Amino acid sequence: MRKTLLILLAAIGFSACGTSGSSSLSSRAGSGSFLSSTVQLDQQFVYALSADQSQLLAYKISGEDEGGGHNHDHVHAQHDHGHDHGHGNGGDSGLELVELDGSPYTLPGGTALSLVVAADGRALIVIFTDGTLRNYPINGVTGLLGEPASVPSRVANPRKLRLSPEGDSIAVLGDDLALFPVEENGELAPLPAVLPNTEDWSDVALGHHGGAGSTSQGAVGFSWERGGPVSGSSEVSLPGATRGGLAIAHDEVFVTNTEDQTVSQLSLDEESGQLTLVETFELPEEVEDPMAIAVLFDGEDLLVGGTEAVVLLHHHEDELEEEGHLELDQTPSDFFSILETGFVLVAHAGGQGFHLLRVDEGLTLVSEFSEELSNITSFGLARRLETVTVTEEL
């Protein structure tokens, strides 16, 4: 059942990804004995936005097997193609997305475009078509959201949100680029740093002290200290007339050249924001009109999606070596890597539902989710460590 998203209270079931705790037995005057248990919950929640109806999908991650670095042995998931709404991928899947009660929820206040989860999983932040940012506090035990606070983004025609590697800053991309610090409690700073005239940018990514955007002609870098002004650099021309997504790993920037069917690698000087073209790589012929791109495993691999396929590329000695490809029935518009696992969520802004992929010694399609919902644009991940005490009368 769909419902307007307000403060929701739920009974707590201790089926967390990981728990630890202690117990004590005590008694009170004039009453019986009580058993108190203190449990530390290690919870992970995934959120997806269907922009057409401003629907928010919410899941709890259950049973994931985290990998410890890129050794191509991250997780073990079975291919299960028929679970709508994400209620499990099979008992041996390695990662299961269990939809929260009542999901999907309707986000009131207009048409939502894009989301991120910031501040160590404390806040889910959504940009709406009127330029309003709404910041929803996340309950670390239930994964449910509270009443939002609103801040104007000061950006006309917003298109998407991006998150800094530390999760303490967000970028709003529209006719201008606005950069907002996020406080530890999830609150947004009231005044952003603004880089004007970004109407032709197709994507943006934040690094630790700067960032870059893909433009109609190429790419632009910028420098920015958290809470300070932003300064753009000169544009670097890239092959072809159209650009897709952009991804950053450390001081390396990767941009998809859609018309040219290539990926360009640039180096970013975060102090000055200056970009320098390193090399341009041809993509496999099955990746037509490449748009989506993600950097995996600390920059070792790239995931690139076009109209007909997704390809996994290993970045090694100035070459991109193909490690696997996968045909999908919808065009990827964005990727979201679930940190410390080999799983990637695939958005389809022009299609229905979303996909879950596994990256191992290649690519595997694990599941499709929420095929009845259209225009899935973005994802967020909240990992929360919560200590809960429960007292029972014996």
Partners of 162 in the β-ladder? 171
Q: What is the tens place of the pLDDT at every residue in 224-265?
A: 988 889 999 999 999 999 999 999 998 999 999 999 999 999
Range 34-44 average pLDDT: 86
d(CA 79, CA 65): 16
Arithmetic mean of pLDDT, 18-23: 53
User: What integer pLDDT is reported at residue 63 of this predicted model?
Assistant: 66
| Higher pLDDT among residues 80 and 344, named by residue | 344
Question: Average model confidence (pLDDT) for the chain?
Answer: 85
Q: Tell me, what's the pLDDT at 32?
A: 66
Sort strands 169-173 and 203-206 into parallel, antiparallel or unpaired. unpaired
For 105-109, 192-196, 388-392, which range has the lowest pLDDT when averaged over its residues? 388-392
What share of the chain in percent tops pLDDT 70?
84
The CA distance from 76 to 19, in Å, is: 22
pLDDT score recorded for residue 36: 83
Give the rounded percent of residues in the chain with a pLDDT score beyond 90. 70
Q: Which of the four pLDDT bands, split at 50, 70 and 90, describes residue 372?
A: very high
- CA distances (Å), 245 to each of 216, 270, 302, in order? 11, 20, 12
How far CA 125 is from CA of 117, 146, 158, 226, in Å, comes to 6, 12, 14, 18
For tokens 């809960």, the residue is 388
Structure confidence at residue 20 (pLDDT): 54
pLDDT band per the 50, 70, 90 thresholds, residue 14: very low
Which tens digits make up the pLDDT trace of 259-317?
Answer: 999 999 999 998 999 999 999 999 999 999 999 999 998 888 999 999 989 999 998 87
Is the pLDDT assigned to residue 65 strictly greater than 70?
A: no
Contacts of 78-83 with C-beta under 8 Å, sequence gap 24+, read: 78/366, 79/364, 79/365, 79/366, 80/366, 80/367, 81/365, 81/367, 81/368, 82/368, 83/367, 83/368, 83/369
Gyration radius (Cα) of the chain, Å: 22
Contact criterion met (CB below 8 Å) for 263 and 255: yes
* 67-85 per-position pLDDT tens digit: 333 333 333 333 333 333 3
